[in-house]
Amino acid sequence: MSSCLFCKIAAGTIPATIVHQDDTLVAFADINPQAPLHVLVIPRRHIATLSDLGPGDDALVGSMHRTAAAIAQAHEYADRGFRTVMNCNADAGQTVFHIHLHLLAGRGLTWPPG
Ligand code: 5GP
Ligand code: ZN
């Protein structure tokens, strides 16, 4: 989708600090990190919200989570702990309408979230 910020990052037309990429996913550092490690894992394909996933996307969503866990492991946060979050629509604070899994690690994360 040509107007989408995260489609542009996936295509490489807007720069980002890429930490992982493969045929279906890109992971990059959040521009406004909320923890020492704050990475966004996105599908290359434009999907606006979690509610727009179809039954054929189960493997894609699984690979987003496995990739987040692998990045946490690579940064040696796996044992200490990390959080993955996907915000959906306004009340959850979604601001970019291309699904992204937040990976947060490196500090104690409170619960419940704000
Ligand atoms: P949301 O609020 O939609 O769940 O999360 C959007 C995230 O995208 C925010 O954490 C925000 O800091 C991040 N973000 C917004 N614009 C950019 C950008 O241009 N580059 C990067 N790397 N992250 C961005
Ligand atoms: Zn997009």
Residue 102 CA to ligand 1 center (angstroms) comes to 9
Options 20, 38, 46, 100, the catalytic residue = 100
Extended beta strands in the chain, E state: 18-21, 25-29, 37-43, 82-85, 101-105
Q: Residue 1 pLDDT more than 90?
A: no
Phi and psi angles of residue 68, each rounded to the nearest 5 degrees, phi first: -60, -45
Closest ligand 1 atom to 28 CA: 22
pTM above 0.95, yes or no: yes
Own/partner pairs for 53-62, CB < 8 Å, 24+ apart?
53/99, 60/24, 60/25
Task: Identify whether 65 is a catalytic site residue.
Answer: no
The answer to whether residue 24 scores a pLDDT higher than 90 is yes
9 pLDDT band (50/70/90 cuts)? very high
The residue type found at 106 is G
